[in-house]
Amino acid sequence: MSDLVVLANRALIGGSFRPAAVHVEGRRIAMVRPVDTELPTGAAVLRLADDEVLLPGLVDTHVHVNEPGRTHWEGYDTATQAALAGGVTTILDMPLNAIPPTVDTAALTLKRLAADGQSHCHVGFLGGAVPGNADRLAELVQAGVFGFKCFLLPSGVDEFAPLRPAELTDALGEIARLGSLLMVHAEDALTIADAPPAHGSRYADYLASRPAEAEEIAVGAVARAAARTGGRAHVVHLSTAAGVSVLRAAQRAGVRITAETCPHYLTIDPADIPDGATQFKCCPPIRGGADADALWQALADGVVGAVVSDHSPCPPAMKDLDAGDFGTAWGGISSVQLGLPVLWTAARQRGVPLSDVVRWMSAGPADIVRLAGKGRIQAGGDADLVIFAPDVERTVLPGELRQRHYLTPYNNQTVTGEIRRVVLDGRPVTDEPGGRLLSWEDR
């Protein structure tokens, strides 16, 4: 017997929209049938309006929650509320900027204790690969992390140090042995050290402080290390055409390397960033133009497999808005609630279909981290569903954001698309936390 039947004239199934009746039993999709099939007795029925489409729950594998230790930046209660409001039913929590960072099982236990009971969407965890913890990666995999994050240059917080080239190779060798994944912030430290330092209120000066060559060199180094070790590498927040070219060549050569990008690299034009608007600061920086075009093409070609938020909030004071100094402001963009409408708005202008956008934000990231059951509407899959009105225009208002702090580059922008309702684990969401803590072993 079905517990719930969702009836939609347009449901995203198998890569295209069609009418469907999605039958849910417990936490799973039991079957997908024609929309005019006789309804089972006793099942609750959720019928979509004519302007709504049914989507799989989005999966965001790059979210900085920061609890414990920096909960005043962002915590599980607020981050997961924001995720659900944006149609994101599953997040993976980055190992920084919490204190302690998730570089051993003791820290992972603290993370899980903090998240337990206040997560509104499903939450999985990533471990950290830092100097000196290569012998801890195995125990973190056994404890359930979905992969590891590392930096090749200073991360911005002292407690999460970068890997040197030999350490990167060692980490990828261990990753290969464990069958896990290494997510890499790929910017070359020496190239950035030789660039003019970030300073002042002009965005162009900040952009010059982190040249595109830094990403090109670093992606090449990651690809070579992955080729030598057989480890599976993933480049986070890819931002440049040069990085795309290196990635494309490595994939053609059979290297086990994937990549993601973020809505801000695809949608924001640096020419529209006013002086002192440090809410736009992120690392690597937003480049626009030919770099954005190359990223869109890489997504279309499957070279880049996912679009995720890199939700990296902080208290507004850390953005140094009064001085507007890109050198002193914290680098990070808050957008876990806004990714789908922001990206869909830009995609429509480029003639990119909604089915592609949703794949990049659901099945794409789920497949990279091997989150079985997520990101697709199909029999046997998890019953995490989103009801979306793709043609509704609205203005992003700070007061509607569920994240801990209001600041985002998208405030007061007009976007297209509205998340109307979310079904999590087969139940329409309520104000009470209903998310589960996910583990690699029981995914």
Residues 172-231: tens digit of each pLDDT: 999 999 999 999 999 999 999 999 999 999 999 999 999 999 999 999 999 999 999 999
Helix axes 339-350, 354-361, angle to 10 degrees: 140
Whether the CB-CB separation of 386 and 57 falls below 8 Å is answered with yes
Distance, CA of 390 to CA of 411 (rounded, Å): 19
**For the segment 253-297, what is each residue's pLDDT rounded down to a tens digit?**
999 999 999 999 999 999 999 999 999 999 999 999 999 999 999
DSSP string, 53-107: EEEEPEEEEEE---TTT-TTT--HHHHHHHHHHTTEEEEEE-S-SSSS-SSSHHH
Answer whether residue 441 shows pLDDT above 80. Answer: no
Distance, CA of 87 to CA of 75 (rounded, Å): 18
**For the segment 392-423, what is each residue's pLDDT rounded down to a tens digit?**
999 999 999 999 999 999 999 999 999 999 99
Work out the percent of the chain whose per-residue pLDDT is above 70: 99
Q: Residue 186's closest CA among 232, 229, 150, 156?
A: 150
Helix (H, G, I), strand (E, B) or coil at 172: helix
pLDDT at 2: 82
Count the residues in the chain: 443
**Phi and psi of 432, rounded to 5°?**
-85, 145
Q: In angstroms, how far apart are the furthest CA atoms of the chain? A: 70
Distance, CA of 346 to CA of 344 (rounded, Å): 5
DSSP 309: -
- The reply to whether the predicted model has a pTM over 0.85 is yes
**For the segment 359-397, what is each residue's pLDDT rounded down to a tens digit?**
999 999 999 999 989 999 999 999 999 999 999 999 999
Distance of CA 212 to the CA centre of its chain: 22
pLDDT at 340: 98
**Phi and psi of 100, rounded to 5°?**
-80, 160
Distance, CA of 156 to CA of 333 (rounded, Å): 14
Whether the CB-CB separation of 383 and 329 falls below 8 Å is answered with no
Distance, CA of 255 to CA of 247 (rounded, Å): 9
For the segment 25-54, the average pLDDT, to the nearest whole number, is: 95
13-36 as b/e, with b when 16 or more CB fall inside 10 Å?
A: beeebeebbbbbeeebbbbbbebe
Task: State both tokens at 262.
Answer: 């973020």
pLDDT at 129: 98
For the segment 303-324, the average pLDDT, to the nearest whole number, is: 96
**Phi and psi of 207, rounded to 5°?**
-60, -40
- More confident of the two residues 207 and 38: 207
Distance, CA of 150 to CA of 156 (rounded, Å): 12
Residue 29: its H or E element: strand 28-33
**Which residue has 């049938």 as its token pair?**
33
Rounded mean pLDDT of the chain? 97
**For the segment 49-78, what is each residue's pLDDT rounded down to a tens digit?**
999 999 999 999 999 999 999 999 999 999
Domains and CATH numbers, the chain: 57-375+391-414 (3.20.20.140)
pLDDT at 440: 87
Answer whether residue 1 shows pLDDT above 70. Answer: no
Distance, CA of 129 to CA of 148 (rounded, Å): 6
Answer whether residue 443 shows pLDDT above 90. Answer: no
- Bond before 316 cis per omega within 30 degrees: no
Whether the CB-CB separation of 316 and 375 falls below 8 Å is answered with no
For the segment 337-365, the average pLDDT, to the nearest whole number, is: 98
Distance, CA of 264 to CA of 62 (rounded, Å): 14
Residue 119 CB-half CA count within 13 A: 24
Q: Residue 1's closest CA among 19, 18, 24?
A: 24
261-290 as b/e, with b when 16 or more CB fall inside 10 Å?
A: bbbbbbbbebeebeebbbbbbbbbbbbbee
**For the segment 298-308, what is each residue's pLDDT rounded down to a tens digit?**
999 999 999 99
Helix (H, G, I), strand (E, B) or coil at 128: strand
- The conformational region for residue 377 under phi > 0 = left, psi -120 to 50 = alpha, else beta, is beta
